[in-house]
Amino acid sequence: QAGLTQPPSVSTGLRQTATITCTWNNNNVGSQGVAWLQQLQGHPPKLLSYRNNNRPSGISERVSASRSGNTASLTITGLQPEDEADYYCSAWDDSLSAWVFGGGTKLTVL
């Protein structure tokens, strides 16, 4: 089964911690690591993390990512209203010779 699986939605309270998961069954996925992107409504995506757990310059320290086997996770602490967005994981699939994206997770800050 190709592709990355994410929960369609996650809801967490203001100033709380949200965790979004990304899983896959194909062992040919992720040889170049997993990346996470944030997409605010009406905007292009923005890179939050790359190669499993690296944060680009300018990304808040409230954002962290990790990976264990065939599961990657994005964690955002101290949630703020501006964190409401769609979040996508992505990875290279060696068997497809293609980049794949998760279906996206809509994060709601209550």
Cα–Cα distance, 43 to 69 (Å, whole number): 31
Minimal distance, residue 16 CB to other proteins, in Å: 25
Minimal distance, residue 70 CB to other proteins, in Å: 18
| C-beta of 39 vs 108, nearer to other proteins | 39
Query: What Å distances lie between residue 62 and 30, 38, 57, 77, 81, CA to CA?
Result: 24, 14, 13, 5, 14
| C-beta of 11 vs 54, nearer to other proteins | 54
Cα–Cα distance, 99 to 81 (Å, whole number): 31
Residue whose token pair is 């699986």 = 5
Which residues in this chain contact other proteins in the complex, by CB under 8 A? 33, 35, 37, 39, 44-47, 50-51, 54, 56, 86, 88, 90, 96-104
Minimal distance, residue 55 CB to other proteins, in Å: 10
| C-beta of 4 vs 109, nearer to other proteins | 4
- Rounded to a whole number of angstroms, the distance between the first and last alpha carbons of the chain is 34
